[in-house]
Structure 1
Amino acid sequence: MDGRAPALAVHLGAWCRAEGHRLESPAPGLAEPPVAVVVRGDRDDERWMTATRAGAPGDVVRRPPPEWGLAARGALVEAGGPEPMFDLDDRDLLWADVAPRLYAHAAARQWDPAMAIPWNEPFQVPDEVEAAVVQVMTYLTENEQAALIVPARFLGRIHPHFREVVQLLAVQVADEARHMEIFTRRALLRHDELGTSSAGGRASLFALVEETDFALASFLLSVLGEGSFVDLLAFLERHAPDPVTRRVAWLAMQDERRHVLFGVAHLAQHAKADPKVRDRLRAAIERRYDALRDTAGLNAEVFDSLVLLAAGGWSPEQIETGYARVQRLEADMDQGRRRRLERLGFPADEAEALSALHTRNFM
């Protein structure tokens, strides 16, 4: 076969690959060399004899080779294709046995912000309490923006062989996008402006965003930050002054629990395969603590707003009760962090010390 169309070789090559034939270079020495030579092939030719399976559909290998690339797990991979590099390609770093079940749960539990929340349900709260809700929702939105960026930046680096992990993190990104929407919408439900964003809070969140190591980022975000965030959302659901705030907190809490579960599960398997990873996790907490040592932590507006929401009013007795409830919240956050650290293999006394170093900004 010969031809003179400039793009013939490109299109012919694609056709040959699809049909199992081989495209050869023109034979040298011809006065008018052909553009291409097609050699008829079948599934017994060398190209197919060197094809390999990308594992089995239900089997996750330790380290998939680059040549599997974007092939579906279990597919027959023809030799000669591109070999994209996915630097996150180690099962011990990424995988958790619970990942497929968590993804199935996450896919089944997606909800529509417009339908799942009673935005139009009437309620009355004092102006100062509504202002506290606005400030807390502003704070939550800021935190969720960071919680979206962290998993999103790793998605393109994970080998597609670990597809359930990719799917789970993609849903996590979608979860955080919904949380940003509902927190912002609740803040603006009765007010025209959002609350205050503190410099210390942004510094704390940026320490999460700039972490480029997958294990450390997952540890700081999911095990420590989002774990404490679950306690905060439970607190808000319990003390919400209106049905919209209560529903917003409850829905976000269900999603965040799933994020924490995956973070703890895959890091526990990682630590079991490589006990030295705990040294890196410990160092990550200490580095972040040192970096944020001179920041103010949780801004006063957010703290005072939490006290007021828990108090339900301005009387001295109510404020005293609200303050005690926020102190209890911080103790619950500490206990939760210690339990998760112990799950990763840290001794109880070390878990206590490391939890105490966690950012005062909660996330």
Structure 2
Amino acid sequence: MTGERAPLDLGFLSFERGAHLLVARALRGIPIGGRVLVTGGDPALGVHLRAWARQRGHGFTPVPERSATWELVRGPSELQRWQGAERAGGPGVDGIVDRPPARWGLAARGALVEPGGPEPRFDIDRREVVWADLAPRLYAHAAAAQWDPATAVDWAAAPAEPVPADVEAAVVQVMTYLVENEQAALVVPAGLLARVHPHFREVQQLLAVQAADEARHVEVFSRRATLHGGPMGTSSAGGRSSLASLLAEPDFSLASFLLSVLGEGSFLALLGFLEQYAPDPVTARITHLARVDEARHVAFGVAHLEHQSSLDPTLRGALRSAIERRHDALVDTAGLNADVFDALVLLAAGGWTPAAIARGHARVQELQHAMDDGRRQRLARLGFPPDEAAELSALHTRNFM
């Protein structure tokens, strides 16, 4: 066992406000068997630290000669959650496989896929049937009719200051998460395109003329994720379960409601958050462009449903039932990928001090409140009274989309 103990002073930062991020970072910086000496003034820190360490396979021991001090020993099972995970091919065209398995589902191509979760069936799942080398160029031509990712974004733009490696990893994780969400947003309105395995995303982008905005978003978020040559982030089973529930809604109005009014409406706040706290100009630019597109999607969804509700007095009951069915189907899932939440905290924090992490955590909570306020306002436009709008907004998936 390593003799030196790396010190970590958490100040008064609690686990409820993001202390686990600093503890996890300290453990990543030492070898297995290495030790970290944690101190902190939060009254519940010892209890939370013990539970967190044991859940992840790390040793935990109070230090009797020092108050509010605990020793952690890095264990070998920290990555147990991802044992058996596999890469869903590679993120580029050269990473496409001949027949992707159903278990990859809606994971971004190149993502590290957590075992478990749903296995949605896409019957068009063979490269020889669906793929054409010309597909990416045909899609690029179609995208130019609106805004072209190749010209609207300066991919060589450098940040004012170098982006630290851990902040870049946070950007990649969020981009990976955005890719799998936008793939769902492309599949839902595309109808028959739901039969094409998302591993062949370029074909989906080509065929989905009415979903051209979403196809462009998939492209730019994937490109940003791999801009500096690193691997894609993680794709959680709970997140893919949430997205799979959107594919299961056959009714056009209900699918539009769940996707555009609630899901993409929440994403308006998320994209604005990412633009505000982007560490580089490319990330800020693509989230701004995507947000403009998504605002049109949300406006159309709300206008469509406002018209439908004026003709069908039973529509609001059906909308409520759709929210409740989706909530009940996802109640036992983990919700938002924890890696994504932590990445958002770090991006908003802008640093690793306890005060910065607390600030970042508070900003993510403010984001969630903004998402809730937006959903309530859109539900009110559809005729729901304030108390019912608040109740239904609270039932929306924790995965945001």
Q: TM-score, normalised by structure 1?
A: 0.66
AA aligned opposite 2:359: T
4+ residue runs over 3 A deviation: 169-172
Instruction: Tell me the CA shift for residue 110 of structure 1.
Output: 1.3
Instruction: Tell me the CA shift for residue 238 of structure 1.
Output: 0.6
2:186–2:208: 8 Å Cα contact kept in structure 1? no
Relative to structure 1, the CA distance from residue 170 to residue 194 in structure 2 (aligned partners, 3 Å threshold; closer, same or farther) is closer
The answer for the alignment partner of 2:153 in structure 1 is: 117
Instruction: Tell me the CA shift for residue 226 of structure 1.
Output: 0.2
The answer for the alignment partner of 1:334 in structure 2 is: 372
AA aligned opposite 1:326: V
Instruction: Tell me the CA shift for residue 329 of structure 1.
Output: 0.2
2:187–2:193: 8 Å Cα contact kept in structure 1? no
> What's the CA shift string for 1:121-168, capped at 9, x where partnerless?
123200000000000000000000000000101799xxxxxxxxxxxx
AA aligned opposite 2:266: S
1:136–1:302: 8 Å Cα contact kept in structure 2? yes
> Which among 313, 316, 336 is matched to residue 275 of structure 1?
313
Q: Distance in 2 between matches of 1:334 and 1:349?
A: 13
1:172–1:259: 8 Å Cα contact kept in structure 2? no
The answer for the alignment partner of 1:142 in structure 2 is: 180
Does the alignment pair 1:350 with 2:384?
A: no
The answer for the alignment partner of 2:128 in structure 1 is: none
Does the alignment pair 1:307 with 2:345?
A: yes
Helix, strand or coil at the partner of 2:188 = helix
AA aligned opposite 1:362: F
Instruction: Tell me the CA shift for residue 109 of structure 1.
Output: 7.9
> Which among 296, 307, 314 is matched to residue 258 of structure 1?
296
1:310–1:325: 8 Å Cα contact kept in structure 2? yes
1:148–1:172: 8 Å Cα contact kept in structure 2? no
The answer for the alignment partner of 1:9 in structure 2 is: none
Q: Distance in 2 between matches of 1:154 and 1:342?
A: 32
Percent of residue pairs identical:
69
Instruction: Tell me the CA shift for residue 299 of structure 1.
Output: 1.0
Instruction: Tell me the CA shift for residue 192 of structure 1.
Output: 2.6
Long gaps (5+) in structure 2? 1-142, 195-206
Superposition RMSD in Å: 1.8
Q: Distance in 1 between matches of 2:299 and 2:314?
A: 22
The answer for the alignment partner of 1:173 in structure 2 is: 211
> Which among 284, 288, 298 is matched to residue 246 of structure 1?
284
Q: Distance in 2 between matches of 1:356 and 1:327?
A: 14
AA aligned opposite 2:257: F
AA aligned opposite 1:237: E
Q: Distance in 2 between matches of 1:144 and 1:215?
A: 19
Long gaps (5+) in structure 1? 1-106, 157-168
Q: Distance in 2 between matches of 1:176 and 1:267?
A: 21
Instruction: Tell me the CA shift for residue 357 of structure 1.
Output: 0.1
The answer for the alignment partner of 2:275 in structure 1 is: 237
Instruction: Tell me the CA shift for residue 209 of structure 1.
Output: 1.2
